Structure 1
Amino acid sequence: MPARLLLLLCLTGHVFAREPPDVDCLVVHLKYVHCSWNKQGTPEVNYTFYSRFDNDPGKEFSECSNYLQENNTNTGCKQPYQEIQRFYLFNTTLVHGKQISPKVLDLKTKVKLNPPTNMTVQRGRDSNLWLNWTQISVKCVESEVRYRVNNRKWETNQVPTAVQNYCVNLPSSSSLYELQVRSRMGYVCGESSFWSDWSQPVVWGSNNSTDVNRMNKSMSAWTPVLYAVGAFILILLVVMLLHHERIRIRIIPVVPKPSLDLHNIKDWVQFPKGLKESFNYNEHPCLVREYCHVSQSDSEACSVIIPGNESDLSTSCSSSTSTVSTEEEMVSV
């Protein structure tokens, strides 16, 4: 019984080993189609690979002309193709003896580009760090750039389609910058699900003495100018502030020169027309003495002399006498 079970397991494992492998294909850099069937390991037998695109239905399946091998066993196929063909279905067939394993693949989203080449990085005239590269099919390719400073965490940024440069704003010359790029087919040309591998890193920074010295010389030449401009702007702002806070413009009417005759005030005081005409400046002056209590005998001699009005003398005195007599009567009571 154990021997029979062992024999059954061996036969079952042999059958599973002979099961046809799965075929997977990828368009590499828009140059050729790379198909492989060794994801589960190297097959135990050699398979023959046949393929055909649907854009030429009259064409028969053709055998692979360039096999990829491991230990003299076929594990893949590399065959050229035309770029437009990736938008058509790709029919494949693996054959071993009487065993046939067909599969249909859509290659539109299965494009993997090679990493970008001609990587250059340099400081521009605008003092920014510019990274440039080259990639196939510029109008269809979008890219990603990642960089890190002093071996810290990577920072990744998207680059729009058809752009093959990237700018790092105002880099520090005392730091070390490491940059890489990867690409893929963009949406405008049938977006791919596969990014290329990252390019070889390019570095710039503390070990680039030429750029550092050039930047230091440039900064040392501009430093006095910047200080002078800053000082001038500061002084100008202070002056404008003081002028705004302390100087006020007030309109003051012209004061007329007064007349030598100060009694005639109508010549230098501005009155309304009606008020000015109502003034009577021809009245005679009146002399006034301080009032005091006097006896009755003295009051008879009291007089107020008003020049030019002698006729009023008796009235003034009698008024004074009457006042004194009244006071005396009040005292007697």
Structure 2
Amino acid sequence: MDSPLSPSSARKEAGMFLTLILLLSGRSLRAMAAQSPQGVECIVFNDQYLTCMWGSKATLTANYSLYYWYIPPRSENHMPVEECKHYLQEEGINTGCWFNHSEIIQFRPFYIHVNASHGGRSLIIPTKGMKLQDLVKPAPPVNLTIQNISNNQLQLTWDSMYLKPLCLEYAVKYKSNQDTSWTEHLVSGKIFSFPSVDYEKYYTFYVKSKINQYCGTTQLWSEWSVPVFWGNNATDQGTAEEQAPWFWIHVVLPIASLMLFLVLVILLIRMERVWVILMPRIPNPSKNFEELFNTHQGNFPEWAGVSKDIVESFKPNYSESFCYVSELPPKAGSTPLWEGHDKLRAPPGRSSAPASSSSPGLSLFKNSYVGV
């Protein structure tokens, strides 16, 4: 027969049993917490699609299913309950549901029910009703532009990708390179005037948007837009419209011109081929015909090896006799040249007798005779 336990031993065993129960209970509670998400978060992105998320792979061990329905006005029939058509998954575990634009109906109560079965138990996220018009998150503004409207005033404008721009309000934040904190302003339209600007500073501007009070009740802001910059000391992050022409004309263009000039100088000094291309030299024939000019003194036939007979054959070998013409004295029996024309008929009314020797016309024939 076993001896009874002492009181101290009994208390020790009871404590160990209680500790074991607490450890098991803690593990069970942690498992239930991991299997049952706390709630569902739904967001309508820019009126284009809707996502409802209820966890991640790290916190879920069961595949949950989502069911949804809308509550129509009293005059319409009750809309049927439908299951999610496009689940979002992480490693095979459903972590959310995606709705396209045709499945979104704003200004009607929207209800969802999420449940799962795990280990023979039903895991349920309580039914939740919501208004989708209060869950819209717009897209960030785009096409930010800065303009000078006066000497010390800037104007910032932008565009929105949201299909209902009148339902948006905006927030603008800016900071210069000498500021330590951002300055933020709420704006109702798509324009912001910056009244006082310092041309020695470099400014950075951001814009975001959200649904205003006339179209919904929400605190969901869009992401901040791509920044736009203005001012001096521009970094490689970007420049404003007014800064860009000044930067290119006064900084980039002179530096580029100087670099190009230095490259050309180096090429002209060190590369003889460039000199030949740009400034071709007149060839010196003495280098190629040194023997012709130095040894043969420019005698091409001798330098070319042409024989003397051939050279002599090209020389002229003909002669012409000179014909001398002189005036000869008249011979006996010769007739003056003009007398040979006495038979020529004189014009009517004139005598056919020869003119006097003083006549200029006959002086040409005075000492001319025709030899017989």
TM-score after normalising by structure 2: 0.51
C-alpha separation in 2, matches of 1:104 and 1:209: 47
C-alpha separation in 2, matches of 1:60 and 1:22: 23
Percent identity of equivalent pairs: 29
Q: Does 1:193 align with 2:219?
A: yes
C-alpha separation in 2, matches of 1:210 and 1:95: 55
**What corresponds to 1:180 in structure 2?**
206
Kept in 2, the 8 Å contact 1:129–1:167? The answer is yes
Q: How does 1:1-333 map to 2 (within 5 A)?
A: 1=17, 2-38=19-55, 42-55=59-72, 58-81=78-101, 85-97=105-117, 98-101=122-125, 102-124=127-149, 128-135=153-160, 136=162, 137-152=164-179, 153-160=181-188, 163-206=189-232, 207=234, 208=239, 211=242
Shift of 1:142: 0.8
- CA deviations 1:54-86 (Å, max 9, x no partner) are 237532222222222233321111202469822
Which amino acid is the alignment partner of residue 104 of structure 1? G
Kept in 1, the 8 Å contact 2:140–2:222? The answer is yes
Q: 1:127 to 1:44 in 2, by over 3 A?
A: same
Which amino acid is the alignment partner of residue 211 of structure 2? M
Shift of 1:147: 0.8
Shift of 1:176: 0.4
Shift of 1:40: 11
Shift of 1:209: 9.0
Paired residue total: 214
Kept in 1, the 8 Å contact 2:34–2:59? The answer is no
Shift of 1:204: 0.9
Q: 1:94 to 1:57 in 2, by over 3 A?
A: farther
TM-score after normalising by structure 1: 0.56
C-alpha separation in 2, matches of 1:57 and 1:143: 39
Shift of 1:33: 1.7
Kept in 1, the 8 Å contact 2:206–2:228? The answer is yes
- CA deviations 1:87-128 (Å, max 9, x no partner) are 211110112134443221233322211211122223246763
Kept in 2, the 8 Å contact 1:145–1:180? The answer is yes
Q: 1:189 to 1:13 in 2, by over 3 A?
A: closer
C-alpha separation in 2, matches of 1:155 and 1:61: 48
Shift of 1:38: 1.7
Which amino acid is the alignment partner of residue 52 of structure 2? C
Shift of 1:12: 3.6
Q: 1:211 to 1:7 in 2, by over 3 A?
A: closer
Which amino acid is the alignment partner of residue 187 of structure 2? V
Provide structure 1 residue ranges, at least 5 long, that are not aligned to the other structure: 216-333
Kept in 1, the 8 Å contact 2:36–2:60? The answer is no
Shift of 1:164: 0.9
C-alpha separation in 2, matches of 1:12 and 1:214: 66
C-alpha separation in 2, matches of 1:15 and 1:170: 59
Q: 1:128 to 1:53 in 2, by over 3 A?
A: same
* Alignment root-mean-square deviation, CA: 3.0
Shift of 1:188: 2.0
Q: 1:63 to 1:204 in 2, by over 3 A?
A: same
C-alpha separation in 2, matches of 1:14 and 1:212: 60
